[in-house]
Structures are given as structure tokens and as C-alpha cells.
């Protein structure tokens, strides 16, 4: 049975498309008539919501099924999913800079995911979001282990407080840049909170899901209005706060996880983009740099598609050579396979040890 949730793939594809579009406009020089499209950078926040939902669902499902959560196993599986491709691109970038820049020094912060607390990212700028996610992985699993010991209403209260904390930090000005983790966890925590409600309050989730479609439509209208405001069609409209985006994307998430999980026309293309979105995200700045160098004066639409083709080709190489093989490797080792796989392997060993006569 196909376990993919088709609408979640659609959201992932939309997220990487939005980010790519925003960065393409910036690479093209951000002309006034295109500059508002840079709002598509909020696709990163959509990725945060989806990531929070994914890991939250995994953690709460594990607790529900096995009665506990193996934090180290969770970390290992996440690291095998995210680190190999990241370090491959990082090392390639460092080698390139070492050969082309005089006096270049390798900053250690990039190797331990602390570069988002630098006031300026000298290279590999998109890696700030990966720092946010990796720091989130380290913190959220122990937090969930603590929360599952409490009654479910207290869990919801604590997660809600954590959700509001980045807004408090931003309001008080307790940050140097807005890519620092403690002021960018809104959307990650929203995903976790949604997963907790899904598992702890299934009745409430079903009631909310009845309005999934109108909620998603309303959220889409509000989201599009932020684009329009940047073209001067609604100057009264405030800039979208990260917490506001978290609620909008949560509405999309409810719609995406609705029981109607049916394939739709064009899904094969959406699935391709979705499954390679991480590799595309890592490599698209290099593709844009190449497009800017060799095709600086072509029309934007052609510029966009050329950069997209280069990004997809490079991402396909990274996906097939590193990302996919390492993900498949997780199931080969006891320390990195899922607990359901580990249970099946244990049952097979037990069956083999039973004498037959």
C-alpha cells in the first residue's frame, strides 16, 4: 500500500517552488515589478511546519504504540536523513572557496550548525534554516519525552506556551538577526502542536477537519494578500509575522492530512519535486549563480526555467548518489532501523531459534 500523503507532497513541492522563485528574483536583481515575489521565501516556514508535523507524528505515534520514545534512535534516523547531503554540499563549497578565495578560512560553525547565530553568513546562506532544524531535532525529542509523562491538556498548554515564546523574543528584541533559532521556531512548534492534537484529541481533530477545505481557502486568500500588499495594492496590510504564517500553514496542513488521500492529475511531477526538494534546496543557490554568470541578460521566465533545470539536474545527482542510498541504509542496521523493522527482525530470530521436530 502506498503510504505517501499526496497533498503533503503538494505542499512540499509548493514550498520549494516558492523558495526557488524568491531566490531567483533576488539573483535576477530583484526588479521592482518582481521584487514582491521574494515573499516566496516564506516557503522555508512552510517546510518548518511540515517538518514539525512529521517528527511530531513519529514521536507521538512511537509513544502510543510502544509506550516510550527512543531518542537516540530518532536522532540517528534524522541525522542519516539530513546530514550526508548537507555535508557533501558543504565540503564541495568549502573546496571551491579554498581554491578561488585568497586567505579563506573554514568556519567551524558550519560543521556544528551554529552559523545562524553569526551576524552575517559569508557563504552557503540557505544553511541557516538547516541549523534551525538540526537544533530543533536535538531539543524537541527530549521535550516530547517529558511531555508524554504529563496529562494531555498540560502537554497542549506547554506546547502552546513554547509556540508563543519566539513572538515574545521578537517583541522584546532579544535577537541579532531573524534567522536565529529562538525567534524562528514558531512554525516548527506549530507542526509539533498539530501532531499532539491529532494523537491526543482525535475527536477535536475530526471536528476541525470538517472545515478543512474552507479553512485552507481562507488561509490561501490571506497568504496571497501578503503578495498583493507588496505590490502596493494594500499598504494597510501588515507584514506577515512568523506566528501568523504558522497558523496559515497549519490550515493547509489540516487540509493536506484530510482523509481524502487520492492521487491527482500531475502527481508524478509533484512527487518528483517533493522527494528531491531537500537536494534542490541545498543546490539551487549554485544553480542560480551559474545562471547569473552565463545568462545575465535573458528574460526572467527563461532565466527561471534554465536555473530550475540546472537545479533539478544537480539535485538528481545528489539525491541518487548520497541522499537516497543513505536513507535506504537506515533499515540495514539495528541502531538506525525503525522500531517496527526491529520488532520484525526480532520475531524472525525467535522463530529460527524455536526447535522443530
Each residue's pLDDT, cut to its tens digit, for the chain (357 residues) gives 357 889 999 999 999 999 999 999 999 999 999 988 999 999 999 999 999 999 999 999 999 999 999 999 999 999 999 999 999 999 999 999 998 888 888 889 999 999 999 878 889 999 999 999 999 999 999 999 999 999 999 999 999 999 999 999 999 999 999 999 999 999 999 999 999 999 999 999 999 999 999 999 999 999 999 988 888 765 544 578 999 999 999 999 999 998 766 778 889 999 999 999 999 999 999 999 999 999 989 999 999 999 999 999 999 999 999 999 999 999 999 999 999 988 787 766 666 655 554
pLDDT at 236: 46
**Within-domain flag for 1:** no
Domain of residue 184, residue span: 6-351
Helices 242-256 and 43-66 meet at what angle, rounded to 10?
60
C-alpha cell at 29: 536583481
**Within-domain flag for 133:** yes
**Within-domain flag for 298:** yes
For residue 102, count other CB atoms closer than 10 A to its CB: 5
**Within-domain flag for 357:** no
* pTM of the predicted model as reported, rounded to 2 decimal places: 0.94
Q: What is the number of structural domains in the chain?
A: 1
CA–CA dist 158, 173 (Å, integer):
23
Integer CA distances (angstroms), 9 to 164, 220, 313, in order? 28, 17, 20
What 8-state DSSP symbol labels residue 321?
I
CA–CA dist 263, 282 (Å, integer):
28
**Within-domain flag for 220:** yes
pLDDT at 240: 84
**Within-domain flag for 159:** yes
**Within-domain flag for 49:** yes
Classify residue 193 by burial, with Cβ atoms within 10 Å: 0-12, 13-18, 19+: buried
**Within-domain flag for 188:** yes
C-alpha cell at 278: 531537500
C-alpha cell at 268: 508524478
pLDDT at 100: 87
Amino acid at each position: 500500500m502506498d503510504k505517501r500523503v499526496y497533498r503533503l507532497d503538494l505542499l512540499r513541492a509548493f514550498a520549494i517552488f516558492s523558495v526557488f522563485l524568491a531566490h531567483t528574483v533576488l539573483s535576477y536583481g530583484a526588479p521592482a515589478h518582481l521584487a514582491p515575489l521574494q515573499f516566496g521565501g516564506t516557503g522555508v516556514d512552510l517546510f518548518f511546519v511540515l517538518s514539525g508535523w512529521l517528527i511530531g507524528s513519529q514521536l507521538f505515534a512511537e509513544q502510543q504504540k510502544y509506550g516510550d520514545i527512543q531518542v537516540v534512535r530518532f536522532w540517528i534516523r534524522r541525522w542519516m536523513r539530513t546530514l550526508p547531503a548537507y555535508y557533501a554540499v558543504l565540503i564541495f563549497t568549502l573546496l571551491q572557496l579554498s581554491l578561488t578565495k585568497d586567505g579563506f578560512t573554514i568556519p567551524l560553525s558550519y560543521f556544528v550548525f551554529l552559523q545562524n547565530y553569526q551576524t552575517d553568513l559569508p557563504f552557503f546562506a540557505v544553511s541557516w534554516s538547516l541549523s534551525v532544524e538540526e537544533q530543533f531535532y536535538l531539543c524537541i525529542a527530549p521535550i516530547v519525552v517529558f511531555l508524554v509523562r504529563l496529562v494531555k491538556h498540560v502537554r497542549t498548554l506547554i506546547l502552546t506556551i513554547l509556540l508563543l515564546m519566539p513572538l515574545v523574543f521578537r517583541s522584546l528584541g532579544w535577537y541579532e538577526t531573524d534567522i536565529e533559532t529562538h525567534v524562528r521556531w514558531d512554525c516548527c512548534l506549530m507542526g509539533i502542536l498539530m501532531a499532539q492534537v491529532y494523537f491526543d484529541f482525535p475527536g477535536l481533530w475530526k471536528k476541525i477537519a470538517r472545515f478543512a477545505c474552507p479553512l485552507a481557502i481562507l488561509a490561501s486568500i490571506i497568504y496571497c494578500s501578503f503578495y498583493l500588499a507588496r505590490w502596493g495594492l494594500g499598504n494597510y496590510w501588515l507584514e506577515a509575522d512568523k506566528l501568523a504564517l504558522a497558523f496559515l500553514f497549519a490550515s493547509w496542513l489540516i487540509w493536506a492530512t484530510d482523509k481524502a488521500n487520492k492521487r491527482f492529475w500531475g502527481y508524478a511531477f509533484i512527487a518528483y519535486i517533493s522527494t528531491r526538494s531537500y537536494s534542490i534546496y541545498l543546490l539551487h543557490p549554485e544553480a542560480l549563480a551559474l545562471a547569473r554568470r552565463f545568462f545575465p541578460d535573458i528574460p526572467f521566465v527563461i532565466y527561471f526555467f534554465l536555473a530550475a533545470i540546472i537545479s533539478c539536474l544537480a539535485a538528481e545527482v545528489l539525491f541518487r548518489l548520497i541522499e537516497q542510498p543513505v536513507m535506504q541504509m537506515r533499515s540495514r542496521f539495528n541502531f538506525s532501523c525503525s522500531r517496527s523493522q526491529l520488532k520484525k527482525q526480532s520475531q524472525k530470530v525467535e522463530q529460527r531459534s524455536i526447535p522443530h521436530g
